[in-house]
Amino acid sequence: MKNIILLIFVLAALSVTRAQTAPVDTSGLGRIKYEALNNPKAIKTLSYLCNVFGPRLMWSPEYNKAAVWIESSLKEWNIPDVYFEDINRKGKSWSLKKYHASVIEPYSMNLIVNPKCWSPGTQGTIKSEAVYFKASKTEEFEKYRGKLKGKIVLISDPIPQRMAMRPMVSRFNDDTLNALSNYTIPTKEEKLLAEEQEKKNNKLYVEYFSFFSKKVAFCKEEGAALILDAGARQYGTNIAWGNISAVMPNDIFDYLIKYAGDPDIPESLPQMVVSTEQYNTIIDMLSENIQVMIETNLEVEKNGAADGFNVIAEIPGTDLKDEIVMLGGHLDSYTSANGVVDNGTGVVACIEALRIIKSLGIQPRRTIRIALWGAEEEGLVGSKYHIDKHFKNGNEKLCAYFNMDFGVGRFRGIYAEENVRAASVFKDWISALNDEKFKTVCLSIVKNSDQESFYDAGLPGFAFIQDPLDYMRIYHTNMDYLDRVPQDDLNQNVYILSAFAWFAANMKTNLQ
């Protein structure tokens, strides 16, 4: 008897939870799909954004020009509300004008170089000797006192090359997607352990990076002309983070990017990265006591401290217009290439979603807002500020936020950020889309982009599970160009992002 009562109880509970996920409004879906897949504008918008304006470093003239063009495009598509939102963080206005480097002795070798963001220039072309600053502790610096003046200093150790046996491009297979679907939320103890480990890792990182800042400080003191670093990838692909400051970092972000763009941090030495293969070659030559002469020039434009902003645009809702459905992707990028898969594709997918819904004349109940974030690379600055202004201290209610910033790989599902209720709703939306390649809901929290700002604020912010393709090889590198974008993936992602915005804007329930 007890079991029967218990069974009835469980069934009743189950029927209640399932009943609560309301039917999905698929009214506009067919037309959204047709517009996204049969009349796509994404690749055209992407190529103009990235190839005409180039890299969009935060606070740079290029970022501002790209934002103005986006604003005028959205207005051309009759998007009623488009505006720039100051992010309350000033930064250095900087852009690259010219740069090159070549070994000229003992033989000619044109170097694949990329300047670090916000690096000062070399004040014209310099020809100088290369010196390998080989030191693993500060006591070893003394060996180089008086030997670095006017020299081109190789600051890091050579990077041992390993054969890249993994495929250049990959897609998630069913095993991986099933594992994501079966992900279980860690226990409190497991989370505490993971946090402890993360703290330990951060401490080691900061110690490691602080040592490099000390090396830079020493080079500055000794009057070195330029610092070269290894590009950290293979086959001529370089990652160039921010210029290493001579000021000790408090965390990884300070070191990698924040200090470099901060107007209050003293200027450091000119710095560029060289392709790892060539960097290791120069070190080898120097270890054979061969004199290596390098000719180089780095010209930059600096316009002092500038304001930064997000680009915000929206289609107002009707009866639920005070509830906001947001789509977002950061607009800022690094400078070694044109910031296409990081994150031009995310920006364009948000723009397209808004254009499509507006062009169809379908009216959402809730307001649909896109945010093209500023200063994501500098620590999620734009999204954090928007949340404080609109949802923490403002009178707006966020219904849901969807982020795109893991490259252009096809959406295969969504991370539900441990939000069991949202996971259940997403399963309904996924069955409504009926797309065999988009079916995974994973309860995991995923960090390292603007959805994290929403999660940290206790707001329903989500990111999509995307096929990795070659993202990990390309993001932040000198190969982040349009050729890396498979159009079908981009158009499919535009369709799914638009559909999720539409579902959320009209749903009878909420995700919290």
Q: Rule CB under 5 A: which residues touch Zn ion?
A: 342-343, 405
At closest approach, how far in Å is the CB of 356 from Zn ion?
23
Query: Encoding tokens for residue 277?
Result: 């293969």
- Whichever of 360 and 445 has its CB closer to Zn ion, that residue is 445
CA distance 248 to 229: 18
The helix/strand/coil state of 139 is: helix
**For residue 388, what is the DSSP state?**
I
First to last CA, the chain: 37
**Amino acid, single-letter form, for residue 499:** A
Determine contact, residues 346/311, Cβ cutoff 8 Å: no
- Whichever of 285 and 380 has its CB closer to Zn ion, that residue is 380
- Whichever of 334 and 502 has its CB closer to Zn ion, that residue is 334
- Whichever of 229 and 405 has its CB closer to Zn ion, that residue is 405
At closest approach, how far in Å is the CB of 341 from Zn ion?
9
At closest approach, how far in Å is the CB of 376 from Zn ion?
6
At closest approach, how far in Å is the CB of 71 from Zn ion?
21
At closest approach, how far in Å is the CB of 329 from Zn ion?
8
Residue 323 CB neighbour total at 10 angstroms: 18
At closest approach, how far in Å is the CB of 471 from Zn ion?
10
The helix/strand/coil state of 230 is: strand
CA distance 431 to 170: 25
From residue 506, give the alpha-carbon distance in Å to each of 20, 24, 425, 435, 493.
15, 8, 13, 21, 20
At closest approach, how far in Å is the CB of 332 from Zn ion?
9
Peptide bond into 343 cis (omega under 30): yes
Closest C-alpha to 56, from 372, 451, 471? 372
Q: Which residues contact 369 (CB under 8 A, 6 or more apart)?
A: 312, 313, 314, 324, 325, 326, 327
- Whichever of 352 and 405 has its CB closer to Zn ion, that residue is 405
- Whichever of 62 and 405 has its CB closer to Zn ion, that residue is 405
- Whichever of 345 and 367 has its CB closer to Zn ion, that residue is 345
- Whichever of 343 and 477 has its CB closer to Zn ion, that residue is 343
At closest approach, how far in Å is the CB of 436 from Zn ion?
28
Q: Is the dihedral of CA 456, 81, 42, 64 positive or negative?
A: negative
CA distance 69 to 43: 16
